[in-house]
Every structure is written in C-alpha cells, then in structure tokens.
Structure 1
Amino acid sequence: MKKLFLIAGLLGFSQLFAQQNDIEITPDNSWLKAGVTAGIPVGDASDVSDFNLGLSLRGQYLFTPYIAAGVASGYNHFFGKEGVDDFGIVPVAGFLRYYFEPSGFFIGSDVGYGFLTNVDNNNGGLYVNPQVGYHNRDWNFYAFYQNTFAEHDFDIQTVGLGVTYNIRFK
C-alpha cells in the first residue's frame, strides 16, 4: 500500500510538470534551496536515537506566485543511543509548497523514498515530510514532521526545525 501511495504521488508530480508547456527558468521562478535541519526522534526512532541533524538540497520551480514544486534530497543523521550505531536517511523526493503571500507563511510536503544508511536488513521506505513555515525572498524557516515508513514495520519519525537559503539561478 505504501508503494502505491509513492507511485501515485510521483505520477501527480509528473503530471503537474507536464501541464506546463512554456516553462522558462528565471531567477524569479526557479532556485536551489540549501539548508540544515535539527530534530528529535519520536515513536520507534526515539528508542534508538535522541537527536538528528540533516542537510537538505532542493530544486524549486514556482508555477504561480503561490504554488511551487520541485525535487528534494539530502542526508539526515541520527545519533544512536548507547550501544546503538548511528544511522541515516537519504531522501529522494518530490515536493509541493503553497505560499500564502510573496513573503510570509507557507505549507508544503515532500513525498518520496527514504534510503537508510548503516542499517542491516532494511533498505528504507516511503518518505513523507510535511512542513509549515515562514519565507522571504532569500530564506525559509520551518517546522517539520518527518516519517520514513521503513521495512519490517519500523517507522523513523522525527520532529524539528529547519532553515534553507535560496540560491538564485542567474
């Protein structure tokens, strides 16, 4: 069922891009977002980790002044508790965002696959990362809830804060 949601989400992203016939990439509608995150594991993940740090990289295209889509990746490092090795998640996802104003609040979510690192017998699973935050022309500050529905019924969940800087194409 999780794979079905992943496929449906990816098809939805591809249809959104396909409907745009005359896409022109400009500094006003497209940019990279590079950032950092910090979180506290919850649920199953809190049994094996107390803290996580991450790096993120996103490519965004603004379809209208209010709706954006793109691709997201990065690395989230979970620091293992005593006797547990550190592990990580490498997400490969698409994302949608809705900006209420040119500067102000936004909501959005990443949907894709989270690949696990340094975990035996578990490759990863469906990755979702809903966010709510504040943005301006250069910065995004947000709160997030991240969940990777990993194999063998092990969900890796974390809540935290993130910040990204917009790198404009010239």
Structure 2
Amino acid sequence: MKKILLSLTLMMAVFATYAQTTREIEDMNEENSWLKLGLNMGIPVGDIGDYSSFAFGVEVAGQFMRTDNFGLGIASGYTKYFANKDLIDAADFGAIPLGLMLRYYPEPSGFFVGTDIGYTFLTGDIATDGGFYIRPQVGYHNYDWNIFAFYNQVFTKGTALDIQTIGVAATYNIRFK
C-alpha cells in the first residue's frame, strides 16, 4: 500500500510539473511563494484510536509555485495526541512531521488536492521514535487561506501501531517579499 500511494503521488507531481511552463527557484517572489501557518485537529482512527481520543496541532510550510497550478514545498509542525482518559496508564504523545509538500491547484481560487510525504518523529511515551508518513488532502483555497480535510498515516516499525488520523486544518498564507 505504501508503494502504491507513493507511486501515485510522484506520478501526479511529474505530470503536473511537465505539463506546464516551470519556474526556477531564482524566480521566487511574493506572487508565487509563501509561508503557510495554521492549525489542525483530528480524530485518531484504527488501533491508535483506542489509545488516543483527539489530536490538535500547528502547521507550518513553505511553498513555491513551480507552475501556475503545481506547488512544491516543505511541511512541518507539531501535533499533540491526547490520551484516552478511560485508560489508566495512557499518556499524551506528540508528532513532528518533516516532509515534502505537493499541491495541485486547478484554478487560482477553489478546490485543490495534495499530499505531504516524509518522516514523522514521535515524542513522549510511545513504543517507537517515528516512521514514514503520508498525508493526502483535499480542500478549498484562495489568495490568503487554505481549508482542507486530510488523512494522515505514520507507518511505524516493529510491534508499534501505525498512527492514523482523519482531520481538518486551516492555514493562512504569508507572502515572501
């Protein structure tokens, strides 16, 4: 499943990039590049849903519009997973993703699709240090805001549980100058 999702993501990026005129990094300006800051909240699902009842976090990303429709960037942030209060020995834990952000915007304002892929570092009392993550998303954007729904999965090693979350997020665009 990981290989299929990664292959589809990379294929989307290649088609979107080569289907249009591309910009070089030295062409970066306030019209095609920005910092995204925002908040997210989600519900853990799957086996981790028995351990954690709610997730809340901050988003930060830098994006460069490689073409008029395709954005490329770096995404990070911090999400805190709150332990299920019904479990006596449960403790909160955190997730710090560091990944590549890929976005496809069909129009200057409207719906978009994208994904983040990379590695998530886990903090707190959890059985693993982290793992590969993928975060497909669909949402609405305009010049200043992005509001989107996402599915996030962190693939952990060994006997640790994969961390799966379904949620919503909103980010504000701060233009580079």
Q: TM-score range by the shorter chain?
A: 0.7 to 0.9
The equivalent residue for 1:151 is 157
In structure 1, the residue corresponding to 2:62 is in which secondary structure?
A: strand
Letter of the 2:35 counterpart: L
Structure 2: gaps (5+ residues): none
Distance 1:37 1:149, change over 3 A: same
The equivalent residue for 1:128 is 134
Structure 1: gaps (5+ residues): none
Q: Tell me if 1:160 matches 2:163.
A: no
In structure 1, the residue corresponding to 2:49 is in which secondary structure?
A: helix
Distance 1:68 1:81, change over 3 A: same
The equivalent residue for 2:79 is 76
Distance 1:115 1:2, change over 3 A: farther
Distance 1:152 1:85, change over 3 A: same
The equivalent residue for 1:90 is 96
CA contact (8 A) 1:123 1:151 kept: no
The equivalent residue for 1:59 is 62
Coordinate RMSD, CA, aligned:
2.4
Residue in structure 1 matching 2:105, options 99, 107, 115: 99
In structure 2, the residue corresponding to 1:23 is in which secondary structure?
A: helix
The equivalent residue for 1:109 is 115
Q: Tell me if 1:35 matches 2:38.
A: yes
In structure 1, the residue corresponding to 2:162 is in which secondary structure?
A: strand
- Cα offset, 1:101, TM superposition: 0.3
Paired with 1:71 and 1:160, the residues of 2 have a C-alpha distance of 20
Paired with 2:118 and 2:142, the residues of 1 have a C-alpha distance of 26
Runs of 4+ in 1 over 2 A off after TM superposition: 19-23
With structure 1 as the length reference, what TM-score do the two structures score?
0.87
Paired residues in the alignment total 162
With structure 2 as the length reference, what TM-score do the two structures score?
0.83
CA contact (8 A) 1:142 1:163 kept: yes
CA contact (8 A) 1:32 1:166 kept: yes
Question: Percent identity at matched positions?
Answer: 50
Paired with 2:139 and 2:2, the residues of 1 have a C-alpha distance of 27
